[in-house]
Structures are given as C-alpha cells and as structure tokens.
Structure 1
Amino acid sequence: MKKVFFISFLVLIIKTYAQTSDSAWFVNNYTKKEVYIPMRDGVKLFTTIYAPKNATQKNPILMTRTPYSCAPYGEKNYSAFWNSPRMYFMKENYIYVQQDVRGRWMSEGVFEDIRPYQPNKKEKETDEASDTYDTIDWLVKNIQDNNGNVGVFGISYPGFYSTMAALSNHPALKAVSPQAPVTEWFLGDDFHHNGAFMLMDGFAFYSGFGKPRPFPTTVGPKGFDFPTKDNYEFYLRTGALPNFTRLMGDTIRFWKDLMNHPTYDSWWKARDARANVQSISPSIATLIVGGLYDAEDCFGAWNLYKSIEQKTKNNNKIVMGPWYHGQWARSDGKTLGNIQWGSNTSEWYGKNIELPFFNYYLKQKGSIDHIQEATIFFSGSNEWKHLPKWPADNISYESYALRKGGYLSKAVPLMAPLSSWSEYTSDPAKPVPYTEDVHFGRTREYMTDDQRFAARRPDVLVFQTEVLENDLTLAGPVVADLMVALSGTDADFVVKLIDVFPDNFTYEKENGYIMNGYQMLVRGEVMRGKFRNSFEKPEPFVPNKPTRVKYSLPDVAHTFKKGHKLMIQVQSTWFPLVDRNPQQFMDIYQAKDSDFKKASIRIYHNDSRIVLPVLK
C-alpha cells in the first residue's frame, strides 16, 4: 500500500511540475493585450490577443469568438492554456485571439441568440459574419508580425460563430473548424430534438445565461437557485411549462422566444446555421468536429458537415471521436462514464488532425494528405476509420423487425398485419428517468449509460437479437419506423439503440462498475408524435388508430462485437431530459398541470422496424 501511495504521489508531483513548467513557458513567451475593435456600425467588441514574443518570423492568427467570456480579464492575467490539450498551438507560435461577441461580457452592443445571417446586408447592417469580417480586417492590419492568414475555431456556441465566420468570406480567412457546433435548435441541438423540448438543459442554461446585461461587465450572471439537488424531483414537482416560465421571470428574452414558437416556423428556420452555407467561399477549408456521444450538439456536427458537402465546393472534412461535448479540448478522451476507449483519443486527434490542418492552411507547413474526408472513431471496436466519404459507399440498410416476445430479427415472419402488439401505459406522473442516478445537473455520461434500470420498467419495451455470431458494424443514421396506436391524441416516442455486453465481460483494468451484461446506450432519440408528418404543421393522432411514426436518429459509428447482443428499447418519457407530453394534442408550452393524462401505447410487431446502416 505504501508503494502504491508513493507512486501515485510521484505521478502527481510530475504532473504538477509539468503544468507549472508549461505555465511559466507560456507567460515567459507570450504577451497579452486587450483591445476594443470597432465594427462597421460603431459598436466596439472586446478582444484579447495573445502574441508570441518570438518575432523572428511572421505567424498566423487563430481566433475564437465566444458568448462565454474572454476571462480572465486584465493584461497581466493569462488564460490557463497550459492545462489544455491545445498547448501545441502556442508551441507553434500562433497568435491566439479571443473575442466577446456583441452584447456579451465586455463587448458593447446588444446580444441576440443565434443571430440570423443576413445575405444581403446594406451599409452598416451587421450580423455575426460581418462582425467576424470586421474583426479579421482589423487584426491583419494592426497585429505586428502576423502572416496575413487567419483561422477560426470554437466549440458549441463558439462553433456556431465559427460557421458564421466561414460566411464572412474575408480574403485572409483560410480555415474554419466548427466543433460541436450549435446548428439547429428545433430539430436536433441543445433545446429541441424533433420538436420535443429538452427541458432540463433549456431551463438550467437560460435561467443564468439568458439574463440581460445592461452594460459591459466582467461579472457573470447567477443561475436559478434550485430548492433541491434532485433534478428529477424538482422538474416533476414544478410541473407544466408555464410554471417554469413563472420561475424564469419576465426578463429572459430567449425563454419567451422558446415558449412563443412551438412549431418549426420562419423564426426557427432563419436561425438554422446550415441555411446559407452555399455562400462559403471555395477558398475556405472547413473541418467539422464532434463527439459521437455529445449530449448537447450531436446533431449539429453530422448535419452541418452534410449540408456543406451538398451545397459547396470547398475542402470540407469531418472528424467524430468517442467524446462528450468538447472533450477533445479538455481531457484525454480515454473513457466516457463506464466505457473505455483504449487510447488517448484527444491527443491523437490534436496531433494528427487539428494541428496539421491549421498548420497546412495557415503556415503552409506539412501535409494533410493523411486526413481523409471522414475520420471516424468506431466505438465497440475502438478504432479510427479513415473513410473517403460519409456515410460510406459500402453501406447496406437492413431492417430489423420488433417481434412478439421481445425478439429483434431481420427475418420477418409472414403473418397478418397489425395482428400482434406490445402495449404499455405512459404515465406523465411517473415518467421514465433518463438515468438511474439521483443527481443535480444533466450528466454527459448518460449517452453511454447502462440501460438495465430502464429495461426493468413496465413502461419500457425491450427487443433484442440473439447473441451475435459475427461483428456487426453500423455507420450512418438509424431509422425508427414504428407502427403505433395510442389512446390519446399525442405522445412522444423514444427509441434507444443498445449494445448488450456478454455476461462474463470485464475490462482489463476494472473501473469499479459491474460490466457483466452491461447495456450500453449507443444512441437514443425522441420524436414528438404530433410532428411525425410535418414540423411546421403538427397533427393529432386519432385515438386507437394504427399510425406510422418514422424518424432518424443521429448517425452512429459503432461495432457490436461477436458475442454481444443488439437491443432496442421503446418508451414515451425520458425525464427530465425531455419535457413531458400531456398526451393530448395541444400547445404544450401553454399546458396546465391538469392537462397531463395517462395513455396506452401500442407498438405493433413486425410492422415496426429499425433500419440499420450496416457497414460491409
């Protein structure tokens, strides 16, 4: 025991020394300057510039625009880049720039969430693309010893600003990397999935982030003071969405917008970051980066890449690793929750993809010949695949039927349609939790959590294959094609794709969790039933009438290993991740507590299929 303690203590000393050494190197080799950069309409944006003291050569500019603050403020206070996997940019003498976007923190102006791009701006009209253009223009003209090449990257909301940067088309802008990018907030990112409101993220985030900032400040807003740390209890006790609106108060503009735009109307469509990507210049290279298990913006990375690929002729590539939201820039990416990936995936990505990409376009250094169109980590087999396109050409879409007795099989027996079904009662008063833990904030690990707790509930249907005799690799979108009937006029449908581990499964290095028979969530997605035919024009269900509900889950890159099973779970609540459906056709944002009703849900066997993208 003493030997183990000594080794652990020695490792801690080494890590601390390394961080202290990097910290000293950064402070000794970089200067920090804070400036206000004027926009075309006179508004000034607060900008922090970290520049290398070594002026023996001209260096490129790498920029992030953020609503989350350029802190720490003050030219003597340095950001702790030495704790980031991205320290390699500093060792390459990049000029690194951070900017508070319009209306946030120390910048002037008025902030607008996901401000729409204006393709036909006049005179002093602005959007995030023009703010980026004006910033780049100032930087290349005023920063000493820059080489005239600029790159932009950012994660999450800064990923949205990166997409807007690409639309600026400034001639100095050579490379842009939207990472885990906010892309579409009604169909798949952050606050809605297929029209279903992601309650926990929406309320917890906007109760702080959405508070108005009347003047520039270095002090951030405080969020809601939750009366209990048990989030399932809090959200269930609070009840219908108008109750959350009362708790939110009258000052948070975007919460009002969320409540006042219950369908996919023109307001939402104007805020789709994909809407104008055809305007990206062919001279700007794009690298879309995301996490296979990103709880916030999994939709955005896959679908922004596909949209740019379809609409532009620029050099566009995608990287998807086995990461939670932004994990590649903040930790080693060796694990997620109970699941192990077998290597330092973040370091591999940084050294082999991100740094070479920017070095090539901004410094004319090295080569990117090794970076394929799609660099995708396949969980399960825990390997990177380098593909010429995504989805790959060698995909076969195979239908697996949900069968009587809880079986899942490609072999669809001949029998009369609608003759057999499984049924459950969906009770909004006792919704299915999205994870078995009692906790406060929404977890990021739920994306790979063990689903055995859910399989044991009577309001969750379970279908699974026999033990697989060969590896089964999926590479692309999974389609849920359900034939349903319900006693009410609306309901949600949650489909979960699950990898069932063998009963004797263990990791070489145990993590303390019982992995025998683990039911790993590979992908889960919700569909608000009333949007089954149109997100613009919702339709009620006819009670007890068999009705098709078909939708796509975000893309999957996963190998179900020989000896495992493939499982599908179907349910109608996923709480408090997703708000509860009253199971009556109505504007849920205006629902009363008395509107929530139990509903009987039927899933018809054989008429309900899961379509899997099988890689050959």
Structure 2
Amino acid sequence: MSRKKTWDVIVARDVVVPMRDGVNLVADLYFPAADGRPLEGKLPAVLQRTPYQKESYENMGSFFAKHGYLSVVQDCRGRFKSGGDFFPFRDEPQDGYDTIVWLADHPSCNGKVGMYGCSHMAWVQFHAATQNPPGLATIIPYEGPINAYHYSMRVGGALHLGLLKWILETAITSQEAQQNPAIGEAVRMMSSGQNFLNWASRIPWKRGQTPLSIVPKYEDAAFQLYFENYDYTDFWRQPGFAMDEYFESFPEIPILWVVGWYDWYPRTIIDGYQKMVKLQRENQYLLVGPWTHNNFNSLCGDVNFGTAGTIHNYDDFLNLELEWFDRWLKDDENANIGTPVKVFTMGGGGGKRDNTGRLQHSGEWHYGDIWPPKGIQPTPFYLHPDSLLSREKPSQESTETTYTYDPRNTVSSNGRCIIPYGPAIEGGFSGMGPRDQIDLETLPGHGIPGMPIASRPDVLVFQTQPLTEKVRIAGNIKVILWVSSDSPDTDFFVKLIDLYPPNLDYPTGYAFPVSEGILRARYREGWETSKPMEPGKAYQIEILLEPSANLFAVNHRIRIDICSSNFPNFDINRNTGDPNDRRWRLAENTIHHGKDRASCIVLPIYPLGS
C-alpha cells in the first residue's frame, strides 16, 4: 500500500453534544494537527457511536485524525458519560440524526460525515440513516442487523440468545453498576459461562426473579425485547428495530457492507446489500470473509482458511476503511476500494490438520460486480428414505421419518454460536467458528460431550453419495420441509454440512458446518401472529439458512442434519405453544419425504468455470 501523509493528533475530551429532548451526549473529538495546533480549514468527519465507552476506541479515533479527518467517538445515550436512559437501539435513530447534524455544522467540518463500526456500532449507522440526516455521506456497517426481529433477537421466530446475554454484559458496565459495583458483580455472576447456560435453560424469565432486576432499566429492556413482544407487531416496526422498513428513506450514499460467514449476521448484511441494489442505489459494495464476529483472522474456530482468508490486499481493516473514506469523503479517485463484490468461497483445502491442529479447508476470493453472481442455478436436493440426499425426486408415494424431541436433552450449538461456552469460553462474542460436529457440554444430561451430533437419535441425517465431481455453491440457501408433530409447537433446525471422508488425521471424517437455519413452527405462516399446529397434520414449511459460498470437493458428501433444538444459540422450545409456559412436553416430530410430500434443500449451485 502507498504511504499516506500523516499528522499529529490533538484531542478535545468530553465535548457535549445536545439532543433535541434536552439530553446531552458526550464525545471525544480528535483533530489532525501540526506544530501543536489543529489544522486550519474544514475537514471531512468520521463518526463512531458506541455503548462500550468512547475512550476504548482511542486508537481508531486517533487513526483517522492522523490521516486528515475530524474524528469523533461518542458514548451512546445512557452509557458511561452520556446522559439519558439506555434502552437498546430505541433512541439511536434520533440521537444519530442530531449528532450528525451537529457534527456536519461543526466549525472544523466541511459538511461531510462518514460512519463506521462493528456490531452495535453498525446498528447505529443504520439507525441514523433511517432519518436521512443532512451531511451523512457514507457508512461502513460491519456485522450488524437491518432488522432486530428477523435477524438478531429472533431468527425464524426462535429467541436468539446472543442479544439477551449482551444486555446482561452491558448492565455490568451500566452507570448504575459504576455507582454501585455490587450491582455489576451480581449481573456478572448471572452472565458468566455455565451460570448463563443455567439461566437460559429456565427461559421464560419472570420480572423481579433474576439478578437483572437490580438494574431496572436493563431488566425492562430485556423483558420488552425478549419475553413480552413475541409477535412482529408495531413495537418491532420502530426505526430503532426495523431499519430495513425505512430503506427508501436512507440517503443515496455509498455503503460498504461487511460480514464474516461465521459471524452472527451474514444473512442480514447480504440481504441489506441486495435490497439496496434492488432499490437501484449506486456504489453498494460487499465484503464477506471466513470470519467470526469482529475478527478478520483466517484461523477461524477449528479451521484454517489459508493465508488468503484474511483482509486481502490491505494491511488491516482500518486501512480498508481509510481507503473507503478517502474515496467518498475526500473524492480521491485513486483510493483503493477494490471491486464492488469480494466474497470468500470456502473449501478446496487438503483436509489434513495444520501445525495448529486445525482442519485445512482453505478457499479463495471471488471478485465481481454483483452478489449472488450471475449464473447461479438453484438446485433442489431431495430427502429420501435410508438417509439419502439426492437431486432425484422421490419416487415412493409416502415415506417419513420420526424422532422424539425432549426439551430436557437439547442438541448443542456448535459452529456459529455467538454465546461463549465450551471451546469458545474465552472468545467472548467473537463466537465459536466452524468446528467438527460433535456434541459439546451445555447442561447436565444434554447430549454426550464428544459424540458426533449425527449419532443422536433425535437428529435426522440425510447425505449424498460421495461426490464424483466438485460442487460449488454461492448465495442464498433454503430448506422446504413437509413436517408434522403431535405437539402444538416445536422447532425445526437444519444444518448444512460438508462431510470430509476419513483420513489419517480424521479417522471418522470431519463434518464441516457450512450453514444453518431454524423455524419455530407456530410462525410457519408469518411473523405477525402465531398459529398452533394440529396434531398429526402435515405442513409445508420453509426455513431460510444463512447464505454461504463453499466448494464441496470430490469424495466429500453434502449432508443436512435436522433436529428440534440448538442450545444455547436459541432458546429451548418446550413444545407447549405458550411462550410464557415453563412446563414442557415431549414432541414426536416427523419429516415427510415421499413423492406426494417432497422435502428438499435448495442449493445455489455456481457451476465451475463461471
């Protein structure tokens, strides 16, 4: 990379930014400087808004100031030094608008503002954009959702527990806990490792009956977001939660959409990109790598994606962000922002262990102008008796496979899980990453740690014969199942797997998780209202899996696993149909796969040579 001119940095701490309702938020302003004085003239500005304490991002604030930007890092409402009450996401659209208007009008700003940041700091970029603030010129959202209900706190109607744990984590550093450390310690105990798994297994919680009750504002947020608004109602359609419903209000600005295949949010980032392209918004760029949450390392989980799996062609992600801002905030047409689409296709490695003990799965970058690429062939692979998965349609009239789902013995999340536990206990919200599909320790009596998940009687396995030619997929994946149950509600969870053949390093093979998805059956007809299942009645359901790009090699098998739980990524469905009921019941769940009720996974085949 070429060397850019750099400056000294001067910081103005704890600058007050007034909001329309009289609340004052607080920010640090980083100025490029020479000879001990801020540069004269007006500069483009970059903004990061965070709930994680603005001082924690001094390196980022200084980096952009060093390269000629007025760089601002702000504490979100109710967090650390900013005033007001913290309620996750609700107030960020208005606060983002007011902050951008204030910043664009700052004496040192030329009126152009860019935003950047990961996770919550990506949410707030979407929030601000819903209000179309004057001055917002570009955003770089990486690994954040465009809709809280469909992609974050819920997925397929099931409770995704990552944000619930996140609420606990933010309560630990709340203003209340800073004033009384005993509060933070009590919530820390609740949210730590095994304790959180125990609490999660007791969902639904009751107000006043958890340690979170000693932080009432955070308890209120947790209950409104998780235990009191199960259906997709007007509560969820606020711009703080349903940003995608306001896409047409977004300013027409360049957006760099960034995510990892093993992050929380590949489907939402790619859906957001595709929706903006459909709205004919120009300069929509997409970057997808083989990464977990806020991590750009090619060593991901138990897998090595090779030297190509990092931020390719850039020193690091900050360097890419700088190039992006130089292009759109400084009008530098020589800035290296790459092709509009850069997506990592996983697979093609040797399948042996590397010197760190990881599977060599490898992969390569796809460069293009649009995603998914042209030439994709959506191809059904049908479920057959005897666990066969094939492109051929079923020929037998009526076949089915039944299993018993016991909420007291859940299948463990392994692969994409954002909840730090098991081998990811020290990884925090970086997530687990892809791993061989074995049961992991969650709760006593749940599975047999170390045993293949596929060996469980409550997991149905369907797989192809060993492939005689390579199969490459790239894009959106869905599963169409015919299902029935003796219970009014249950979950159907599907995982797509690239099954390696046995070798010396992996004597039983290696089950590489490619993608997954879930549907809570009572939401099979829509999210606005739930409908119980009639016992024994067959329903056709559709499950959206996370998009992916993977090369299935010769002698590998394409496999799907079907079950009714994935804990602790998702809450435990107790099969009663009442989300507030702590009672449980067994469920006899059936997958139909005959000629009259054909079930299949539809894979986005991307022919080799395309």
- Structure 2 length-normalised TM: 0.82
Aligned: 1:597 with 2:585: yes
Change (3 A) 1:50 1:495: same
Any conservation in 1 of the 2:197–2:568 contact (CA below 8 Å)?
Answer: no
Instruction: Tell me the equivalent position of 2:117.
Output: 154
Instruction: Tell me the equivalent position of 1:11.
Output: none
Instruction: Tell me the equivalent position of 1:176.
Output: 139
Instruction: Tell me the equivalent position of 1:510.
Output: none
- Deviation of residue 142 (structure 1)? 3.5
Aligned: 1:71 with 2:79: no
- Structure 1 length-normalised TM: 0.81
1:540 to 532, 557, 566: 532
Cα shift readout 1:554-585 (whole Å, capped 9, x = no counterpart) = 21122212232211000001112211111122
Aligned: 1:612 with 2:603: yes
How far apart are the structure 1 equivalents of 2:319 and 2:28? 28
How far apart are the structure 1 equivalents of 2:18 and 2:96? 11
1:286 to 236, 255, 278: 255
How far apart are the structure 2 equivalents of 1:468 and 1:496? 19
How far apart are the structure 1 equivalents of 2:157 and 2:231? 7
How far apart are the structure 2 equivalents of 1:69 and 1:219? 18
2:523 to 519, 528, 531: 531
Change (3 A) 1:232 1:485: farther
Instruction: Tell me the equivalent position of 1:550.
Output: 542
- Deviation of residue 59 (structure 1)? 4.1
2:366 to 368, 385, 390: 385
2:31 to 45, 48, 51: 51
- Deviation of residue 177 (structure 1)? 1.4
Instruction: Tell me the equivalent position of 1:463.
Output: 462
SS of the residue aligned with 1:293?
A: coil
Higher deviation after alignment, 539-548 or 209-218? 209-218
Higher deviation after alignment, 490-499 or 255-264? 255-264
Any conservation in 1 of the 2:259–2:266 contact (CA below 8 Å)?
Answer: yes
Instruction: Tell me the equivalent position of 1:166.
Output: 129
Matches within 5 A, 1:385-424: 385-416=366-397, 419-424=398-403
Aligned: 1:110 with 2:78: no
- Deviation of residue 433 (structure 1)? 1.4
How far apart are the structure 2 equivalents of 1:290 and 1:152? 16
Any conservation in 1 of the 2:32–2:67 contact (CA below 8 Å)?
Answer: no
Letter in 1 for 2:213: G
Change (3 A) 1:581 1:132: closer
SS of the residue aligned with 1:550?
A: strand
- Deviation of residue 358 (structure 1)? 1.4
Instruction: Tell me the equivalent position of 2:445.
Output: none
Unaligned runs of 5+ in 1: 1-24, 73-77, 116-126, 507-513
Any conservation in 2 of the 1:480–1:553 contact (CA below 8 Å)?
Answer: yes
How far apart are the structure 2 equivalents of 1:203 and 1:524? 20
Aligned: 1:318 with 2:318: no
1:62 to 42, 46, 57: 46
Cα shift readout 1:429-481 (whole Å, capped 9, x = no counterpart) = 11111139746577755441211421121111111112222221111111111
SS of the residue aligned with 2:223?
A: helix
Any conservation in 2 of the 1:404–1:421 contact (CA below 8 Å)?
Answer: yes
Aligned: 1:41 with 2:21: yes
Q: How big is the alpha-carbon RMSD for the aligned residues of Structure 1 and Structure 2?
A: 3.1
- Deviation of residue 65 (structure 1)? 0.9
How far apart are the structure 2 equivalents of 1:528 and 1:218? 41
SS of the residue aligned with 1:206?
A: helix
How far apart are the structure 2 equivalents of 1:301 and 1:504? 36
Instruction: Tell me the equivalent position of 1:450.
Output: 436
Any conservation in 2 of the 1:105–1:218 contact (CA below 8 Å)?
Answer: no
- Deviation of residue 244 (structure 1)? 8.4
- Deviation of residue 409 (structure 1)? 0.6
Change (3 A) 1:228 1:32: closer
How far apart are the structure 1 equivalents of 2:469 and 2:28? 54
Change (3 A) 1:228 1:353: closer
Change (3 A) 1:58 1:266: closer
Instruction: Tell me the equivalent position of 1:21.
Output: none
Change (3 A) 1:203 1:111: closer
Instruction: Tell me the equivalent position of 2:360.
Output: none
How far apart are the structure 1 equivalents of 2:509 and 2:207? 39
Instruction: Tell me the equivalent position of 1:274.
Output: 244
Letter in 1 for 2:600: R
Change (3 A) 1:444 1:450: farther
- Deviation of residue 218 (structure 1)? 9.2
How far apart are the structure 1 equivalents of 2:559 and 2:494? 10
SS of the residue aligned with 1:327?
A: coil
1:578 to 563, 570, 575: 570
Any conservation in 2 of the 1:281–1:314 contact (CA below 8 Å)?
Answer: no
Higher deviation after alignment, 56-65 or 517-526? 56-65
Letter in 1 for 2:149: F
SS of the residue aligned with 1:186?
A: helix
Unaligned runs of 5+ in 2: 349-362, 416-420, 439-451
- Deviation of residue 215 (structure 1)? 7.7
Instruction: Tell me the equivalent position of 2:489.
Output: 490
Higher deviation after alignment, 476-485 or 166-175? 166-175
- Deviation of residue 166 (structure 1)? 2.6
Matches within 5 A, 1:314-353: 314-328=282-296, 333-343=297-307, 345-346=310-311, 348=313, 350=317, 353=320
How far apart are the structure 1 equivalents of 2:174 and 2:250? 32
Letter in 1 for 2:234: S
